[in-house]
Amino acid sequence: MSTLKRKTPEELRSYRWFGAPVFRSLGHRARMAQQGYAREDYMGKPVIAIINTWSEINPCHTHFKDRAEWVKRGILQAGGFPIELPAMSLGEPYVRPAAMLYRNMLAMETEELLRSHPIDGAVLMGGCDKTTPGLILGAISMNIPAIYVPAGPSLRGDNKGKTLGSGTDLFTSWYKYKAGEFSELQLEEVENGISRSAGTCMTMGTASTMMSVADTLGFSLTGASSIVAPDSRHAIMAERTGRRIVDMVWEDLKPSDFLTASSFDNAITTALALGGSTNAVVHIIAMARRAGIPLSVDRFDQLSSEVPHLANIRPAGKYLMEDFYYAGGLRAMLKRLGSLIDTSQLTVSGKTLGENIADAEVYNDDVILPLDQPLGELGSLVILRGNLAPKSAVLKIHAADKALREHIGSAVVFENVEELQRLIDSPELQVDKDSVLVLKNAGPLGAPGFPEWGQIPIPKKLLEKGVKDMVRISDSRMSGTSFGTCILHVAPESFIGGPLALVRNGDLIELSVSKREVNLLISEQEMAQRQADWVAPKPYYPRGYGRMFAEHVTQADEGCDFDYLETIPGKDGLIPEPPIQ
């Protein structure tokens, strides 16, 4: 258990608002009375913010109205005082141009909601792709006791007795429809059966990956991320979380007390063993840097050569998150990883990760594979460099065609997504199965917002010939539910003059996974001439949040955080508390 010194009621942060011997405290207490609360309801008790990202346009979080009530019940049972604070929801399917554009906005909102109110501790409710990193980024920077409630995956999809996985089987069905193998009615049957309950994508997409990452980092009750959203055990977890945050406040157990370089190694190892989303690279780097840990993309490649891919989950495997939960879930997988996980790391429970998984078991070896029988022979992702990606690019190996890992092909270039949409299915498009599809201006600044356009569609005329995969390159991201030989996160991006901006139709491009390289096969002199001729495009946003994003967002290899929000090691990045007035 944690050995941190317990606070007294007078040391609570909320006491500055409610108990200080100043006139403003009288006004604060009067406003609490206006809402029907007597002094004994909140005075001298931990005031807990429930940062709830529920909304009516986020299907992943439709159960959060109910779950917040279970969290409140736990808080009240433990002697705390709950306050629900809504935060922007970022429903991945709907937000345009990209939910990623607003991850940092949610992080700022979370931090400032906690800073500006009389809050002693926080329960963070998220799950849909960008909500988890957004909430945790804000909580790390605020650095008061905080615990995370993952939304949990939804139930398995179903259509005529066939199990479906959200995202993954939508892509597959769409390709079949375009190739003439599916009718409109068959497509409708899939769309009606693929997402059958509240909760996140039940494939190993970004949501499942990041909920598991947050869990391994120590931010949730260990194993909470695996519980299926509609399962009654999810409500029990929410109530226990509410009880635990009250004790965390008395113990003053903050993110800075359990986040270390080793805990971030654990997070990377988890993402790799799960065969998780490539988006985890961007988010984990951002979270580490908020914690003052200078994590780089190279650490992912180093660990990838050591960590086996154990979770047999779509899109790389055959099962879904519901199966993973019944097979023992994250706790069982972490236990199976053995010495690859640093079990000495502290968690929000006040216990170490090792203590929390000591009794875990794997109940299905076909879902959580044995260490000596991993899914594939390589780490689940690789970091590429080369003259086309000097800072880095990412490739998810087990979602790609093995035959394309060493490949040279002629570039078919799309200057932007509008051109891609206009030309990709044109019968006149000069493309064959060996071509390399290249999408420019789809990165953090170029899109803008770093959208999930990286799974460039296979041209219709090739789909009709049975082509299922091609080498595709972009400075964009792709959904964790996606698949294919898609080289992503090329940095620096084309919009700021990265080498991707210089690729022309017909150029030869070489991918070599064995060498960890992706190269444009032109001379250095030609590259230099093209760079000299390149003209910078105009920025998209003249004002507002978009302008702030454009002026301060870092590149993919640096986490796409705002430069002024990172914590610089050796400098005190904490903001002082407001004065007692």
Whether 440 contacts 475, CB under 8 Å: yes
Q: Which residues contact 527 (CB under 8 A, 6 or more apart)?
A: 387, 499, 502, 520
Residue closest to 263 by CA, chosen among 216, 223, 309, 228: 216
Whether 73 contacts 80, CB under 8 Å: no
Distance between CA atoms of 200 and 18, rounded to whole angstroms?
39
* Domains, in order of start, for the chain: 9-155+197-260 (3.40.50), 382-533 (3.50.30.80)
Q: What is the pLDDT along the chain (581 residues), one digit of tens a residue?
A: 445 578 999 999 999 999 999 999 999 999 999 999 999 999 999 999 999 999 999 999 999 999 999 999 999 999 999 999 999 999 999 999 999 999 999 999 999 999 999 999 999 999 999 999 999 999 999 999 999 999 999 999 999 999 999 988 998 899 899 888 999 999 999 999 999 999 999 999 999 999 999 999 999 999 999 999 999 999 999 999 999 999 999 999 999 999 999 999 999 999 999 999 999 999 999 999 999 999 999 999 999 999 999 999 999 899 999 999 999 999 999 999 999 999 999 999 999 999 999 999 999 999 999 999 999 877 789 999 999 999 999 999 888 899 999 999 999 999 999 999 999 999 999 999 999 999 999 999 999 999 999 999 999 999 999 999 999 999 999 998 888 999 999 999 999 999 999 999 999 999 999 999 999 999 999 999 999 999 999 988 999 999 999 999 999 999 999 999 987 665 555 677 767 66
| Nearest-5° Cα angle at 420, 484 to 561 | 70
Whether 461 contacts 427, CB under 8 Å: yes
Q: Which residues contact 371 (CB under 8 A, 6 or more apart)?
A: 308, 310, 336, 337, 338
Which residue shows structure tokens 């420019």?
Answer: 440
Which strands, in side-by-side order, build the sheet including 436-439?
381-384, 392-396, 486-491, 471-474, 436-439, 406-414, 508-512, 517-520
Whether 356 contacts 332, CB under 8 Å: no
Taking the CA of residue 563 as centre, how many other CA atoms within 13 Å lie in the half-sphere pointing to its CB?
8
Which residue shows structure tokens 């991320």?
Answer: 225
Give the Cβ contact number of residue 412 at 10 Å: 24
Q: What is the pTM of this model?
A: 0.96
DSSP secondary structure code for residue 559 in this structure: T
Whether 144 contacts 114, CB under 8 Å: yes
CA distances from 346 to 77, 285, 295 (A): 25, 20, 19
